[in-house]
Amino acid sequence: MIFELLALVAGLVYGYANPGKEDRWALLKKGAIYGIILGVVFGLIGFFLGSYLGSLGGGLLFFTAGTISVFISVVVLVTIFIIGTFIGDMLEVALKK
């Protein structure tokens, strides 16, 4: 819950501090790319850890589960950040008039 709140507050500040409207589609694409990269990195760590521990097929399972879960988590946090930028843009327009 704390990461979601931090993402929302960071999005609020980002949306308010940057003049004009933000390119939310570019933010979502960057977040998805970072999610894939982080997912693969943590998935590889899980793969080698699972292989090292000697479980049968555990490395592949850890790789798949780690990659998918990290990707979904990053995309959710980016979506919350984008919602924060939208609110920050609305506050910018309302408070600067």
pLDDT score of 79: 93
The span from the CA of 62 to the CA of 44, in Å, is 8
**What are the boundaries of each domain within the chain?**
2-95
CA–CA–CA angle 30, 34, 37 (5° rounding): 140
Higher pLDDT: 53 or 31? It is: 31
Instruction: List pLDDT tens digits, range 79-89.
Output: 999 999 999 98
